[in-house]
Structure 1
């Protein structure tokens, strides 16, 4: 059942459309995007530390790269997962960095119980500001978002390669890309209502409180089905952590409609390699804590047929904090008979418009 709930942000009340039915692991659900905001709690950390699709890839890479080496773990979290795994793999020394105060404090409490403190040094702060010596041989950083760059990986790891890594140092993960395909949000959610999952509302409120105002958050779709997409897919951003790494990108691609349906936006998802020659983690097709991100582009769903095309431009530029990206999307959908439909979206990391698109006006009804 769908219902309107009231939440309060900085003393002002607002309405949110909520699906009150419990989430099911085999059904899609709608959340705000989470990873790029400092709102981590034990539940979110637990979903990451139990993500075996992710973990087996990071472990395999550390097993090859960490033995006998100095490792820096950026974003170690309250469980110091990759710091501990690095020691387990044979690292001689680990520098573990955490920027979130609560996570750092809990990590400091947890560290003695892991019996690795003789080889792990825990630091509080932003890796882009901290200094330590000697330089590391390996950098492990699980700061990859459901959009590959959303958590600031490009800026943070560009800095880490310049200041924290030895000249021949290696980064784990090796590469991440964001894929995109066209579809309609209502069809992607299937039998579920177009409304935020009830379990997501505390996180939505935390994001708004952190920002001190509501804004059009990125829309996270958990358990999205590839069958709901009507076009082929294409890479719209690429992060080569051991190659040429860009903190700003712009990609223009053409998506071709492959089956009848309707389009009102694009669904994006992560593919990740921890080693160059492995099969990638695919967040749309595998069970993982990463999810798909949906961007609304058109005022209303547009019917499409096979052969119609969507020309999509996706850009990212660093936000005011110099770490997290802002995204810019524009699209032209060309349908039978030569009709052209224009759409665009600005998706800043912080702030920006509220209820600027029909999708957001629907999710956040006016009082």
Structure 2
């Protein structure tokens, strides 16, 4: 899917091709297609290393290399980027470990540590930065249906997640092509990662909330604005369909809001117990007379409750028979 995502892959290909000539390029989490390693090799890089942690993807990458002349100069290494010794520091690091929330796939940890072990002090990271935004939303309105359900492909994917973890939990939900008129507040910046500056592996940010219309909200919709390179237009995943679909964090209960209502939101990321992927914590307070409204929720990378809200209980009705 990511290989076929032209909005996403086009920006990465342009940035890698423009920067690679005569450079030592490392592609982190290269995958079986070796997209950016191949782009660097084709653009005249002096050396290209692709690092892939999955044995299955590594084996498929080796098989594809034999059929692709530009890829034959790529050195493919099976392993974790934190454990690899390349013998010299790279000029460029490329990684697509960006999630629906910028840090959710482990980009903050992966790239902050790889910069220290694999990259020259004045080296370049691609992408340049990612910002995550959020807005209050009505979940069924965003979905465009009153009867939420997974499609067959999504069911297979969720089942695989549950088998990996050893049981079901309330997974974070991605929504392709959400109905944007079902957002009820101005965008709130939740997170900012600058990959060519100091990268914090955890974050806590407080921002103002401004309600733009009357309605009922029951989720926080999150999306990213990705800058692959400073001279390329950023990719806004709320407005441009990509494989980085916006995702939602479901409130414990729905709340009524009115146009002009204001408040404040704290959005915090903490590393989960795997030391790589963040858990997220939201504390929303909306001004209301005679007493303010407070919503507290957590969105964990794995584990947590199963059927913790009415929405999830409806979504997962009967799911235990498939786990």
Shorter-chain TM-score above 0.5? yes
State the alpha-carbon separation in 2 of the partners of residues 123 and 332 from structure 1. Answer: 48
Residues 297 and 331 of structure 1 are in contact (CA less than 8 Å); yes or no, is this contact kept in structure 2?
A: no
**Does residue 355 of the first structure (1) align with residue 307 of the second (2)?**
yes
How far does the alpha carbon of each residue in 1:283-338 deviate from its partner, in whole angstroms, 9 at most, with x for none? 11002111011011241x22221111242211111122221111111212334x34
Q: Which residue in the other structure is 2:47 paired with?
A: 93
Do the aligned partners of residues 264 and 152 (structure 1) sit closer, same or farther apart at CA in structure 2, a change above 3 Å counting? same
Structure 2 match to 1:250:
204
Residue of structure 2 in register with 1:29 after alignment: none
**In 2, Cα distance between equivalents of 1:359 and 1:334:** 25
SS in 1 for 2:66: helix
Partner SS state of residue 175, structure 2 = strand
| CA RMSD, Structure 1 to Structure 2 (Å) | 1.6
Question: 1:272, 1:192 → 2: CA distance?
Answer: 32
- Counterpart selection for 1:188 from 117, 142, 150: 142
Residues 61 and 338 (structure 1), Cα distance of their counterparts in 2 relative to 1, 3 Å cut: farther
From 262, 283, 289, the equivalent of 2:237 is 283
Report the counterpart of residue 160 of structure 2 in structure 1. 206
Distance 2:274 2:36 in 1: 26
| Whole-angstrom distance in 2 between the partners of 1:136 and 1:358 | 50
Q: Distance in 2 between matches of 1:214 and 1:254?
A: 34
Residues 1:158 and 2:109 are matched in the alignment: no
Corresponding position of 2:287: 334
Hey, what does 1:317 align to over in structure 2? 270
Does the aligned pair in 1 maintain the 2:42–2:70 contact within 8 Å? no
CA distance in 1, matches of 2:31, 2:71: 15
User: What is the aligned residue count?
Assistant: 319
Q: Note if 1:297 corresponds to 2:251.
A: yes
Contact 1:225 1:284 survives alignment (8 Å) = no
Q: Measure, in 2, the Cα distance between the counterparts of 1:189 and 1:345.
A: 21
The alignment status of 1:365 with 2:317, answered yes or no, reads yes
Cα offsets for 1:136-164 (capped at 9, x unmatched): 10000011011100110000001111000
What is the match of residue 25 of structure 2?
71
Runs of 5+ unmatched residues, structure 1:
1-46
Query: Counterpart in 2 of 1:22?
Result: none
1:239 equivalenced with 2:182 (yes/no): no
Unaligned 5+ segments in structure 2 are none
Spell out the pairing of 1:130-141 with structure 2 (5 A cutoff).
130-141=84-95
CA displacement at 1:356 relative to structure 2: 2.1
Q: TM-score by structure 2 length?
A: 0.94
State how far apart, in whole Å, the 2-side matches of 1:344 and 1:105 are: 44
**CA deviation vs aligned residue, 1:115-151 (integer Å, no higher than 9, x gap):** 1355211011111222212111000001101110011
Contact residue 73 and residue 95 of structure 1 kept, 8 A: yes
The CA distance in 2 between the partners of 1:178 and 1:274, in whole Å, is 14
User: For 1:63, what is the secondary structure of its paired residue?
Assistant: helix
Q: Secondary structure at the match of 2:287?
A: strand
Runs of 4+ in 1 over 6 A off after TM superposition: none
Rounded Cα–Cα distance in structure 2 between residues aligned with 1:192 and 1:355? 18
Separation in 2, partners of 1:338, 1:294: 29
CA contact (8 A) 2:66 2:72 kept: no
Instruction: Confirm or deny: 8 A CA contact 2:176 2:241 kept in the other structure.
Output: no
Give the TM-score, by structure 1 length.
Answer: 0.83
What is the CA–CA distance in structure 1 between the aligned matches of 2:168 and 2:297, rounded to whole Å?
Answer: 17
